[in-house]
Structure 1
Amino acid sequence: MKKVSAMQVLIENPQATIKNKPKSLLPSFWSSSMFYMGPTFSMTSLFDLSDPLGLSPFVSVDAKIAFMVALLDKGGAVLARNMGALGVVAIQFSAETVTQNEDPKKITNYYQEYFSSEVNNPDLASYDQIIVFGVSNVIPELWKKLKPGGHYIFGTEGSLEYPNPKTFEAIGTLWPEGEATEFGWKFNSEELGLVNFEVAKIKKL
């Protein structure tokens, strides 16, 4: 793979009309709508991408956050924790609703930058998907809010700890980078911004 700027990944805004993406954007190995910035990429090139609604064409997030967002199924209600304000924006690209704990003012400003209509973030009793960054174990209070059959996605720098295997089913994918763990996947690529990063997607039984 060509040398890239590894720490940040650009995620395409599906609500923005993007024509002639910069050729210096390199598709990630996990999503055709998420891009690494190649060595000749310049942020000023994004200013040339015109959108009739004035929406920002890409959101820039940490590579680990981007990878986790790509594991989400489209639609449904998502509960997000520790994903960062821009990570929440990326989740909102494909979710029906996102409940999150980020700074309300910051979130509102970002939503106005990326979405043409008002975004609803209700507090719900249960969720279709839960996504948590930077925590090694499944948080019991959040697990209780996950619907049976729903997915819990979590990742951290280090190793993950799992609940009773009788309570979940691992949802695995073979990736061209990294290696499988017992229930998830482990990356150790400094070049891709995925150093010592373990992530898992599990289905609640």
Structure 2
Amino acid sequence: MSVIAYDSKSHAPSKEKAGAEPTAAEAEEAVRTLIRWAGDNPAREGLLDTPSRVTKAFKEWFAGYAEDPAEVLARTFEEVEGYDDIVVMKDIRLESYCEHHMAPIIGKAHVAYLPDGKVVGISKLARLVDIFGKRLQVQEKMTAQIAQTLDDVLKPRGVAVMIEAEHQCMSTRGIHKHGVDTLTTRFTGVFKDDPAMEARFFRLIGR
């Protein structure tokens, strides 16, 4: 069972700031408050170090806020022996958190672009997915952000992005539906204008 959404709007990476960053002590106290609210005692032995562990985990889970996605793509290469066909990276592991419940979003991304004279190191495509994944997200927005950044920085002839992921805010709470993937896509340039190029992208990623 799959939910398919197509986003046709442009979403540039957000540069908004939420204000002064709380101190580590303030963040840890907030975790203790949540533990008490959940019904447990943050002073018991098993939970004494939990606030520190949680804040350290947050730093890792949401490291994308500290990185500029455009900088990741800044170094490009033009010595590609005339290569002018599609570049595809498929099945990129995706781990994110929904901004509504802060529950995990687990899945994979498929990213493609048609170069216009320059290419970027392939690892940078995976890093781009990680940067946007390691933020509080809505899958539709994340799909658009990845595609828009590639389009803005590389200025290729076209970009294609597809994300398929399971949202644990739906599988572990609320409606409790397991094994449901949400699919989102974003196409620009030739992938948007030429149905044959769109179909070729889907064939290359095995869809």
TM-score (norm 1): 0.22
Give the number of the structure whose residues are more often helix, by fraction. 2
Structure with bigger RCO (C-alpha 8 Å, 6+ apart):
2
